Amino acid sequence: MAGIRFLAAPFRTDQPLVLVLLVPVIALLWWQQPAVPLSIADQGGMPLYMAVVGRSAPWPWLHGVLGLLAVAWLAPLLASTANNAELFDRRNRMPAILILLIMGLVKGPLLSPALCGALPLLFALRRAWAIQGRNDVFGALFGAGMLIGIAALFYMPYAFMVVALWAAVSVMRPFDWRDYAMPLAGAMLTFYFCWGILRLAGQPPMQPIAAILNAAHPSFPVGKPMILAFVGLVPMLAFGVLGYVRSYQKTIMRERNSRLAFLALCWALLAVIALEVIVHGKFPVVLIALPLAVVITYPFLVTKRGWLAEVALFALLAIGCAVQWG
C-alpha cells in the first residue's frame, strides 16, 4: 500500500494541474443536488444573494450550476490564500480537496448565502494578510473592508469578520488607529452604496436583522455515515492542531504573525457559528469547513505512512457520497 498515490500525494504539491482532480470529486458529491424552492432559498437573503437567486429562479438547473461554480472557485482560492499567507511549511493544494470533502458531509442545496459570501471574504483576507512589512497599507485595508461589506451583502454575519481584520493588523503592525478605521470605513461605505442603489431602484430596503433571524441552513445528518465522519475528523483535527503548534514554534516572526491572524479568523468564525447555533440550532457548513480544511492539512503534509493519508481522504469521500446519495 506504500505505493498508493491517488489523491493525497498529488495535493501535497503546488502543481496547479492537480486542481483538475477536483472536478470528479465535485461531480461525485453534488451531481444530483436536491431542488430548492425559491421561497426557501429567499430566507435570510441579503441583496447580492437575492440577486443571484432571483436570476436563477426561472431555471432551477441554473441554481445548481451556480452552486457548483461557487464551490469550484472556493476550493482553489482557499488553498491559494493559505499558501500566500505562508500558513504551511511548504506550498501545497491540500486545503482545496479537504474543504470539498468536509462540505460534502452535509446534504442540501449547495448554493447558499454563506458559500457566496465566502468568496469575497477570502479575497478580503488575502489583502489584509499581505500588509505585513508594507508602509502603504491604508488602501489595502480599505479594500479589504469593502470586500467584507460585499461578503456581508451575501451573508450578513460576515460583517463580524472586520474583527478578524483588526486582529491581523494588531499582530502585523504597530498601533495606528487609522489602520483599524480603514476596514470599518470600507465595510460601511459598501453598505451605504448598496442602500442608495436600492433606494434609487425602488427596491425593498435591506433587513440585516431579519436576514440573520430568518436564514435557513441544511442540517448535519444524524446517522451512521455522519458518525463515521465524526470519528475520523476528531483525530485529524487533533493531529492538525498538534502540527499547527509545532509548525508555529519553528517559524520566523513573519510567519508566526500570519498564523496568529489565521487563529483570529478561526475565533471570529466560531463566534458566528455560536450565533447561528443560538438562533437556529444549526449553521452553514462552509463556516466550519474553511478553518478546518486548513488546520487538518498539517498532518496530511507528513510524507511518512502516505498510504494512511490516502485511505483517510478516500474514506471521507466515500462518507460524503453516502450522505449525498442517501
pLDDT tens for 134-180 read: 888 899 999 999 999 999 999 999 999 999 999 999 999 888 889 99
Which pLDDT value is given to residue 253? 82
Cβ contact 90:13 at 8 Å:
no
**How far apart are the C-alpha atoms of 297 and 294, rounded to whole Å?**
5
Buried b / exposed e over 183-210, threshold 16 CB at 10 Å, is bbbbbeebbeebeeeeeeeeeeebeeee
State the amino acid at position 242 in one-letter form: L
Which pLDDT value is given to residue 2? 41
Which pLDDT value is given to residue 74? 97
Q: Which of 103, 107, 81 is nearest to 92 (CA)?
A: 81
**How far apart are the C-alpha atoms of 258 and 29, rounded to whole Å?**
32
Angle between helices 60-84 and 113-129 (to 10 degrees): 20
Please, which residues have CB within 8 angstroms of residue 321's CB and are 6 or more apart in sequence? Answer: 28, 29, 104
**How far apart are the C-alpha atoms of 211 and 109, rounded to whole Å?**
18
Q: What is the pLDDT of residues 132-141, one digit of tens each?
A: 878 888 999 9
Which pLDDT value is given to residue 36? 60
Please, which residues have CB within 8 angstroms of residue 272's CB and are 6 or more apart in sequence? Answer: 157, 158, 160, 283, 287
pLDDT < 70 regions, the chain: 1-5, 34-45, 57, 219-225
Which pLDDT value is given to residue 213? 78
Q: Which of 76, 69, 75, 99 is nearest to 15 (CA)?
A: 76
Q: Which of 113, 110, 117 is nearest to 35 (CA)?
A: 110
Buried b / exposed e over 110-136, threshold 16 CB at 10 Å, is bbbbbbbbbbbbbbbbbbbbbbbeeee
| The CA-based dihedral angle spanning residues 266, 271, 272, 274, taken in that order and rounded to the nearest 10 degrees | 120
